[in-house]
Structure 1
């Protein structure tokens, strides 16, 4: 009985830690809503709404890229991007049940975030050009040869299909981690908090004012791109 006491006390020495800040969580769930809205608006041929949704997505992605440089510790790219070998080593143990002690993205999840951001950025930028090309109101459209314009239009469709595939893979990974490893990846992205051992230091957050400033910069950049792309 005495031998078990240290183990039990270690299990109980946990506390809720804020691992995901509000800007990161808002970005995540707004992207979920906007991607679904983009799909619905395209199917219903509500193209005016589709364009507005694409511009909102672009502003959010630009914000997330800036937040990945200047934001909170768990949001910064240098904090979660690891070598591909590290991601592979992590995936080799994906079916091993163990305590979830990860603060932020795991090595494989970090690459998934990068892939999703790249696909969202490419889809939004190509969509802006396609919209301007169809309406002939983009100052760059007259300088782009027909074959390039057609390639960009085709790319917009290809990236959308790739984005849907990546989203499906992301959802599959969440389910796999829940079933195989017993890790609930969804709850921390909702509440921001995770139960972690007291010995693990909380990540450093960034200020809300900085997030607001970066969002304004991203919105201005999106407006300029929509006018000149």
Structure 2
């Protein structure tokens, strides 16, 4: 009988899929027409809210949601690439690098978006506070950074396919259910400390996450609209 371990708490799962939905929405609206630029901005604000929440949750969330549980170092990366490291319930070192890279690229995108001014259909809420030269530079970064995001998303999807095809590991299912199923014959491949600790995902954990998210959303709405 397989061992069921709660890896991803509900806040992390909701963050993940809401982020996916908002990224898709932002990509669609920016390529539809100039009239959809305002909607594109709202998707950006939602992504900013999600990212700020994720950073906070990375310090106060459950076991595998915390950055401290998957910050990679040079040795852990080398061990993983050489097949010398144990299996991971959460992010492996390479997966961790991709997570941090994507969070950083998205952060650059939403922050620069606050200063964008295309002088036609949209002006970011903070563009009026900085010189035109700065607005121009940040607008160029915002446009060019799209390529980085596309590349990271493509690598993310490719990694999911690779693990499914060649390692028989479904990375999507745990992000939906929150649980990872471990066959008894594979338990020796994991750290005992991982197998013995489910991520906290109770009512208190979820209420705390909801309160944090609401506070972040209210704070961002205030600074954007003032």
TM-score range, shorter chain: 0.7 to 0.9
Once the 2 structures are TM-superposed, how far is the Cα of residue 186 of structure 1 from its aligned partner? 1.2
2:209 to 208, 211, 220: 211
Of structures 1 and 2, the larger Rg is shown by 1
After superposition, the CA RMSD in angstroms is 2.5
> TM-score, length-normalised on structure 2?
0.84
Structure 1 runs of 4+ with >6 Å offset:
none
Shift of 1:221: 2.8
Q: For 1:159 and 1:137, locate their aligned partners in 2 and report how far apart those are by CA, in whole Å.
A: 17
Unmatched tracts of structure 1, length 5 or more? 1-11
Distance between the aligned counterparts of 1:141 and 1:101, measured in 2? 47
TM (norm. structure 1) is 0.83
Aligned length: 211
| Bigger mean CA offset, 119-128 vs 142-151 | 142-151
Unaligned runs of 5+ in 2: none
Q: Of 71, 75, 93, which aligns to 1:81?
A: 71
In 2, are the aligned partners of 1:41 and 1:47 still within 8 Å (CA)? yes
Indicate conservation of the 8 Å contact 2:114/2:127, yes or no. no
Match of 2:90 in 1: 104
Q: Quick check: 2:70–2:96 contact (8 Å CA) kept in 1?
A: yes
Q: Deviations over 1:59-106 (max 9, x none)?
A: 01111111101111100000111213312331344xx9xxx9422111
Equivalent pair of 2:9/2:200 in contact (CA under 8 Å)? yes
Contact 2:7 2:90 in 1 (8 A): yes
* Residues 185/220 of structure 1: CA separation in 2 closer, same or farther (3 Å cut): same
Which stretch shows the higher mean deviation, 219-228 or 187-196? 219-228
CA distance in 1, matches of 2:143, 2:132: 17
- Secondary structure of the 2:116 match is helix
Q: Which residue of 1 aligns with 2:5?
A: 17
